């Protein structure tokens, strides 16, 4: 798969405790991205953060460590990102979703 130089970066901020049914939401989103043949997805786990409610989530407080902040990053073409957003909209509850233009400098192994 090739990515054009001009692409989009989608970031989805959510909590580790967010679910869709009994499944973690981050897992469902990454698997949907794979199913839709996006170039890739990465889940980043934060040791501390807060969001809309201003409630601090941190690994330092044992009782809150079950809902640490997560960021899912996806990069692909504008069309594929927009199709993905439409497909996952029904899965999303709360959270923050951002989109920005990026330049792809390298994707894949050398010589591909």
CATH number of the domain where residue 10 is located:
3.30.70.120
Q: Which domain range does residue 51 map to?
A: 6-103
Of the candidates 28, 35, 32, 38, which has an alpha carbon nearest to the alpha carbon of residue 77? 38
In a domain, residue 111? The reply is: no
pLDDT tens digits, 76-91: 999 999 999 999 999 9
Residue 108, in any domain of the structure: no
Strands 41-45 and 69-76: antiparallel
Question: How does pLDDT run along the chain (112 residues), one tens digit per residue?
Answer: 778 899 999 999 998 889 999 999 999 999 999 999 999 999 999 878 877 777 777 666 555 456 789 999 999 999 999 999 999 999 998 789 999 999 999 887 765 5
In a domain, 110, yes or no: no
Residue 39 lies in a domain: yes
Total tally of structural domains belonging to the chain: 1
Model confidence pLDDT, tens digit, residues 43-56? 999 878 877 777 77
């Amino acid at each position: 798969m090739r990515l054009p130089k001009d692409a989009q970066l989608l970031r989805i901020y959510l909590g580790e405790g967010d679910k869709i049914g009994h499944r973690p939401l981050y897992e469902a989103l990454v698997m949907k991205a794979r199913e839709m043949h996006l170039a890739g997805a990465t889940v980043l786990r934060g040791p501390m953060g807060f969001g809309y409610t201003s409630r601090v989530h941190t690994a330092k407080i044992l009782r809150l460590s079950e809902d640490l902040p997560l960021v899912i990053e996806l990069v692909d073409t504008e069309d594929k990102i927009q199709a993905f957003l439409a497909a996952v909209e029904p899965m999303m509850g709360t959270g923050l979703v951002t989109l920005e233009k990026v330049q792809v400098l390298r994707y894949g192994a050398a010589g591909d």
